[in-house]
Amino acid sequence: MDLAVSNPLYCFASKVPGRRSPKVGAFIVRCSVALSSDGAALGWAERPWKTSDARLVLEDGSIWRAKSFGASGTQVGEVVFNTSLTGYQEILTDPSYAGQFVLMTNPHIGNTGVNFDDEESKQCFLAGLVIRSLSISTSNWRCAETLGDYLAERNIMGIYDVDTRAITRRLRQDGSLIGVLSTEALKTDDELLELSRSWDIVGVDLISGVSCKAPYEWIDRTKSGWDFNCDGRDREDFRIVAYDFGIKHNILRRLASYGCKITVVPSMWPASETLKMKPDGVLFSNGPGDPSAVPYAVETVKEILGKLPVFGICMGHQLLGQALGGKTFKMKFGHHGGNHPVRNLRSGHVEISAQNHNYAVDPASLPEGVEVTHVNLNDGSCAGLAYPAWNIMSLQYHPEASPGPHDSDYAFQEFVELMKRAKQNA
C-alpha cells in the first residue's frame, strides 16, 4: 500500500475575538492498493461473509435471492412448506418428499447438525431445502456432521437468508408452486422461469423411484431408550407384508415393536405373490406424488382387499380410497408438519398428528359402507377410513410421527387387533 500526504494546511477552529484556538492540521491523504491480475485486492480476495449466490424462481414470476449451502447447480421441484419445529433430518430422508423443495417455517435450522440414527430412509429424495437462517454452529451430543456437509455429500441443494414467511404466505394464497433453484450465474432469470413453467409433478409416477428393488426382511424395533406405549402389548407374532411406496423406517420399527414380523416388498410386487406368502396382514405405506399416476398400485390393492386385513398410511390411504371406488384430488398446498389437529370420530378424541401429503380422498365419492373415521380439523378433509366388512383401516397422516407427537401410535395396536380378529374368525 502506498501513502501520499499533501502539504498540510493550518486553520483556526475558533473565530471568537481575542481567543486563539490551537492549530488544526488538515491533510489530504491518498491511498492506493496494488491489485492482482483478476482485479481482486491482494489479501482481500474473499469477503469474510457469504454473499447471495443463489436464486429461487417460482412459476408465478417471483424471484428470491438467497445464499446457497449443500450442493450447487440447478434443480426444479414443487415448493411446499413444513411447519414442524424439530426433526429436519427425518424430513430430509422422508421419501414422500421426492420431487419437492421443502421450505421450513421454523426459522433456525441446522443447530443440532445431523446423525445417522434419525434417518427415515437410506438417502435423501427431496429436491432441495429452503430455510431462513442456517446455524453457524452445532450443539448436540449425537451430532456427526453439519447440515451443509450432509447435503453436499448427498448432492442436495439448499438455500438460506431468504424470506420464508413471505414465500409461505404466497403458497397459502396461491397454492403449491413449481420452482427452480439455481447457483449458476450464467442462467438468466427468464431461462429459469421457463424451466419452472415447463415442468409438472401432477401425473408423474414418483413411487417407482423411491421403492426398494427386491423384497427384504425387517427386524429392527424402536430402541429401548426411545420406545413408548410398551405396557400391555400382545406377545403374539403377526406376519406382515409391507408394500414399499416410499416407506419410512420408523413405520417398520413401530410395527416390529408391536410384535410383527415384516417382509418389505417393492411397489410393483404382484398381489398373487403376496397372497402366496399367506401373511396375517398387509401394509400399504406412505409415498410421494399423485395416487392417480400409479394405477398398477391401485390394481394391486384391489386384488388384496377382502382377502387379508390391510392398513394404509398416507399414500396407502389414498390408494385404498381409489381401490374402494372413491376419488382423490390435489389439495391447494397440502399438509406438511407435526402439529395438525385430527378428530377421531369414533372416540371423539383430538390428536395432534404428523402429516405429509398433497392429495386427499374425497369422502363424498366413497361407496356405502366405507366409514370416515378421522377428520382434519384445519380444513375438514378426510384423515382416516375403515371398511369393517373387509378388515380395512387407513390413516391419511403418520401414526409413527418421527418427527412429531405420539398421539396416534395406538393405530398400530388397532391393526394388530384387526389381524387377531381376522385370525380368530378364519
Sheet holding 371-376, edge to edge: 216-218, 260-265, 238-243, 281-284, 310-313, 392-395, 382-387, 371-376, 327-344, 350-362
CB 64 within 8 A of CB 163: yes
User: Is 217 labeled as catalytic in the residue annotation?
Assistant: no
| Each residue's pLDDT expressed in tens, for the chain with a length of 426 residues | 444 444 444 443 444 455 554 554 555 555 554 544 444 444 545 667 889 999 999 999 999 999 999 999 999 999 999 999 999 999 999 999 999 999 999 999 999 999 999 999 999 999 999 999 999 999 999 999 999 999 999 999 999 999 999 999 999 999 999 999 999 999 999 999 999 999 999 999 999 999 999 999 999 998 877 777 666 455 678 999 999 999 999 999 999 999 999 999 999 999 999 999 999 999 999 999 999 999 999 999 999 999 999 999 999 999 999 999 999 999 999 999 999 999 999 999 999 999 999 999 999 999 999 999 999 999 999 999 999 999 999 999 999 998 889 999 999 999 999 999 999 987
Catalytic residue among 314, 340, 374, 382: 314
Q: How far is CA 93 from the centre of its chain?
A: 8
Cα(91)–Cα(109) distance, integer angstroms: 12
Please count the residues of the chain: 426
Q: Which segments of the chain belong to CATH 3.40.50.880?
A: 207-425
All three cell numbers of 69, joined, read 449451502
pLDDT at 227: 79
pLDDT at 98: 98
| 262 DSSP β-pair partners | 218, 240
| 241 DSSP β-pair partners | 263, 282
Q: What kind and span of H or E run contains 171?
A: helix 164-174
Q: How far is CA 199 from the centre of its chain?
A: 20
| 275 DSSP β-pair partners | none
Q: Out of 3.30.1490.100, 3.40.50.720, 3.30.300.30, 3.50.30.20, select the CATH number for domain 52-197.
A: 3.50.30.20
Q: Which segments of the chain belong to CATH 3.50.30.20?
A: 52-197
Distances in Å between the Cα of 106 and the Cα atoms of 111, 355, 376 are 12, 16, 22
Cα(307)–Cα(270) distance, integer angstroms: 14
Do strands 108-109 and 133-134 pair parallel, antiparallel, or not at all (unpaired)? parallel
Cα(201)–Cα(99) distance, integer angstroms: 7
Catalytic residue among 249, 317, 357, 398: 398
pLDDT at 23: 52
User: Is 314 labeled as catalytic in the residue annotation?
Assistant: yes
Do strands 350-362 and 371-376 pair parallel, antiparallel, or not at all (unpaired)? unpaired
pLDDT at 184: 98
All three cell numbers of 179, joined, read 420452482
Q: Is 0.85 surpassed by the pTM of this model? A: yes
Distances in Å between the Cα of 97 and the Cα atoms of 16, 66, 102, 198 are 77, 22, 8, 20
CB 305 within 8 A of CB 52: no
User: Cell 407435526 maps to which residue?
Assistant: 338
Q: Which amino acid is at 309?
A: P
Q: What kind and span of H or E run contains 255?
A: helix 249-257
Strands (E), 59-142: 63-70, 74-82, 100-104, 108-109, 128-130, 133-134
Residue 80 phi, psi (nearest 5):
-130, 155
Q: Which residues of 213-235 are buried (b: 16+ CB within 10 A; e: fewer)?
A: eeeeebeebbeeeeeeeeeeeee
Burial of 241 (0-12, 13-18, 19+ CB in 10 A): buried
* Class level of CATH domain 207-425: alpha beta
Q: What kind and span of H or E run contains 364?
A: none
Q: Which amino acid is at 50?
A: K
